[in-house]
Amino acid sequence: MRKVAVVGVGETKFSGPQTKTGVELFAEAATDAMKDGNVKAKDVQALFVGNCLSDFAEGQGMVQAFAAENIGCFNVPANRYEGACASGSMAVRDAMMWVASGAYDIVLAGGVERAATLGTPLATRTFAMFSDARYEFPAGITFPGVFAMLAHLYAATYKIPIDKLREQMAAVSVQSCKYGAQNPKGQFFGKYGDLTVEKVLSSFMVASPLTLHDCCPFSDGAAAVVLASEDVAKKLTKKPVYILGAGQASSGPLISQYDHLPKIYARELASKQAYKQSGLSPKDINLVELHDCFSIASLIASESMGLFDYGKSGAAWQKGEAAIGGRVAINPSGGLKSKGHPIGATGAGQVYEVTKQLRGEAIPALQVPNAKTGMTDTLGGDGGTVVNMILQRGW
Amino acid sequence: MRKVAVVGVGETKFSGPQTKTGVELFAEAATDAMKDGNVKAKDVQALFVGNCLSDFAEGQGMVQAFAAENIGCFNVPANRYEGACASGSMAVRDAMMWVASGAYDIVLAGGVERAATLGTPLATRTFAMFSDARYEFPAGITFPGVFAMLAHLYAATYKIPIDKLREQMAAVSVQSCKYGAQNPKGQFFGKYGDLTVEKVLSSFMVASPLTLHDCCPFSDGAAAVVLASEDVAKKLTKKPVYILGAGQASSGPLISQYDHLPKIYARELASKQAYKQSGLSPKDINLVELHDCFSIASLIASESMGLFDYGKSGAAWQKGEAAIGGRVAINPSGGLKSKGHPIGATGAGQVYEVTKQLRGEAIPALQVPNAKTGMTDTLGGDGGTVVNMILQRGW
């Protein structure tokens, strides 16, 4: 199969509630991505959009078809993908296959969400539909509860006293907020840059042991990427970023993952697929955008991706090993915690960030030095979908 | 790219409201499809599911991941596709690409919906989200209204007096109900087999000129198909049915189709793609399962697919040219009108029916003689997604 490159990326600001429709938000990101990739709308052969809640948030299904028409990609095949928080990554991975196969040379993929528009109580409630609706949700387990339990299980499994784990998790949030406060695309741009471990620990308790600052916000936003075959990419840009590997796996209800928790088994599989496909290993990864919906999620994700030993990632964060300039820069964008989490857009937003970093086009204060290879990670539901992608600069 | 075969098909009975969850319904269809295809769950490499309304109907998103675990396809990549009524076809077309590309040898694809469970008023209202939610839906145009207007426009465009068109449309419904009453998988099995043109015309008016019997029901149900590469297919079955062509196109709001209506422009494009890819033409098609959500939709669809001249299909139905034994058998299953329309499952259900026909395994009374080549057609929204597929028996 053919090598596939990211040739253009675009993104709206991730934000709280705002008034643009999903189609309008996506159009903003998509037109930026096409401009960035030197691609005209008429050159796009298909449009793949990740989206979870547009029907709930604004009464609009099939947002991808209206988006295609809105941005001038008239009559192209247009698919909507739903894999909860991994919807955008699912769309990008599928677009990669359509290009790799030779069916299309240029595909636009991305995602959009208006989760903040729903308001936190309704967003929390509707979003719990993406856990198991028959046994988990009726038991009262919304996502903060799921991750709070995972934190306790993590502490017990790796014999870390819960107070020590809380400090480690707080270190994750402090780093994310420090970076995100400098990211003009981020929801918390200019905010919480001076967050401290003490402030995290003393912010109000959402689901013990997770406080407010262990949790990401709900967000509105969109992100889009233009993918092209290697030959076409070389004509469009001097800085093609190749997707060398893309893994995806699923799980059923939490109980089906019982033997593996607090590890998310789908991620163990998806990241291995991505490494195998790329021929690379964790030591080759210079930067990562991973799914830190809660601070504990960062620890779990980084370990499954092989970046740190199991039970050791919290200490690594505290030592600066996950910082820009550290062993591997994790979430230099601010991540879901500070940049924001517009559900269906999040995965495409990660590809945006990694591409910008590999091109050396990140905000100077957030640029990872000599970044050659990056990785993305998105988790949908409580393990129902995980997608990992490995990207490398091609020049 | 590799040739892709349908090696197994499965389907639940399409029905009114019932008590199984979407996962349970899909599992029933999927296990039948795997058994039919001599495939074990562990052989399935990915699962693609079309679904529109599971979050609304039962508070369950990401139904595909839970379905994968439920049927024993543990941890496979599992995607959900939404393209309104074309969701199931979208999933099958995407599965075809993953197999054609060489990435996977065996993929399970299909769809599921519990639309009847919502009840007709709520189903009508929620389903209108798949038309344009900013300008069309707020104007009060639900789908019966859209197709009623298309009927008037069709009558005006082709200079057919509306009473004559009503009789032509009634002939479509009479044929569909005659066949569907004999299809045990159908929602109206044993019902309306004695429908007459007079009964259609005198049933209550839903949206003039469409009466109740011009409209399909809302349905619960699921359908699934196992796709395999040519080499693998030959080991699994003596009767592989090849998907020789699959086209897909989109449109924006109705106003964007203004120059083409009552033709659905996305279908004009999608069917041409399918013919071109297959190297076949309309005269090669022996049977068709097309998207007759309303009787007028059958006339419009058959003409765009090149089966009858524009403005002439109604007369063709009246003359029996669309009947079993006629020029091309259209909807020998009973179609959406009588077999039923579980939105996300409908397209996969069409592939089920065409495959059964090409294998000579249809209900004897509904078997199309010497069926070698068949075609499917699904329409999502009011033109937002159209998928056409051409299948041929491979022995």
Hey, where are the domains in chain B? 4-119+218-393
Interchain contact, A68 vs B97, CB within 8 Å: no
pLDDT of residue A293: 98
* B-contacting residues in A 158-187 (Cβ below 8 Å): none
Residue range A131-148, pLDDT digits in tens:
998 888 888 888 999 999
Q: What are phi and psi of B294, to 5 degrees?
A: -135, 155
A210 has pLDDT over 90: yes
pLDDT of residue B137: 85
Q: What is the mean pLDDT of residues B137-148?
A: 91
Interchain contact, B101 vs A1, CB within 8 Å: yes
Q: Give percent of chain A above pLDDT 90.
A: 93
B124 has pLDDT over 90: no
CA gap B143, B131 in Å, rounded: 8
pTM, full prediction: 0.98
Contacts of A55 in chain B (CB under 8 A): 55-56, 126, 129
Q: Which two tokens stand for residue A363?
A: 């905000």
Q: What are phi and psi of B386, to 5 degrees?
A: -130, 135
Which residues, in sequence order, are CB contacts of A259 under 8 Å at separation 6+? none
Helices (H), chain B: 22-36, 54-58, 63-70, 87-100, 120-127, 143-157, 162-180, 197-202, 230-236, 265-278, 295-304, 313-318, 335-338, 346-358
A108 has pLDDT over 90: yes
Tell me, yes or no, if B284 comes closer than 8 A to chain A by beta carbon.
Answer: no
* B-contacting residues in A 306-335 (Cβ below 8 Å): none
Nearest Cβ partner for A82 among B47, B62, B97: B62
Question: Taking all residues of chain B, what is their mean pLDDT, rounded to a whole number?
Answer: 97
Minimal CA–CA distance to B76: which of B91, B90, B88, B65? B65
Tell me, yes or no, if A379 comes closer than 8 A to chain B by beta carbon.
Answer: no
CATH code of the domain occupying B4-119+218-393: 3.40.47.10
Q: What are phi and psi of A334, to 5 degrees?
A: 105, -15
B196 has pLDDT over 90: yes
Residue B22: pLDDT band by 50, 70, 90 thresholds?
very high
Residue keyed to tokens 């409201």: B17
Cα separations (Å) of A213 from A140, A144, A194, A341, B267? 22, 12, 12, 14, 50
Does residue B52 carry a catalytic annotation?
A: no
Q: What are phi and psi of A71, to 5 degrees?
A: -95, 5
Comparing A25-39, A117-131, B57-71, the range with the smallest average pLDDT is: A117-131
Residue A64: pLDDT band by 50, 70, 90 thresholds?
very high
Question: Does residue A341 contact residue A85 with C-beta atoms inside 8 Å?
Answer: yes
Q: Measured at the alpha carbon of residue B130, what is the angle toward residues A126 and B119, in degrees to the nearest 5?
A: 70
Beta bridge partners of A246: A389
Q: What is the ipTM of this complex?
A: 0.97
Contacts of A66 in chain B (CB under 8 A): 132, 252-253, 384
Residue range A322-363, pLDDT digits in tens:
999 999 999 999 999 999 999 999 999 999 999 999 999 999
Residue B54: pLDDT band by 50, 70, 90 thresholds?
very high
Dihedral sign computed on CA atoms, order A60, A80, A358, A374:
positive
Does residue A291 carry a catalytic annotation?
A: no
* A-contacting residues in B 88-147 (Cβ below 8 Å): 90, 94, 97-98, 100-103, 126, 129-130, 132-134, 137
B19 has pLDDT over 90: yes
Interchain contact, A94 vs B90, CB within 8 Å: no
pLDDT of residue B133: 87
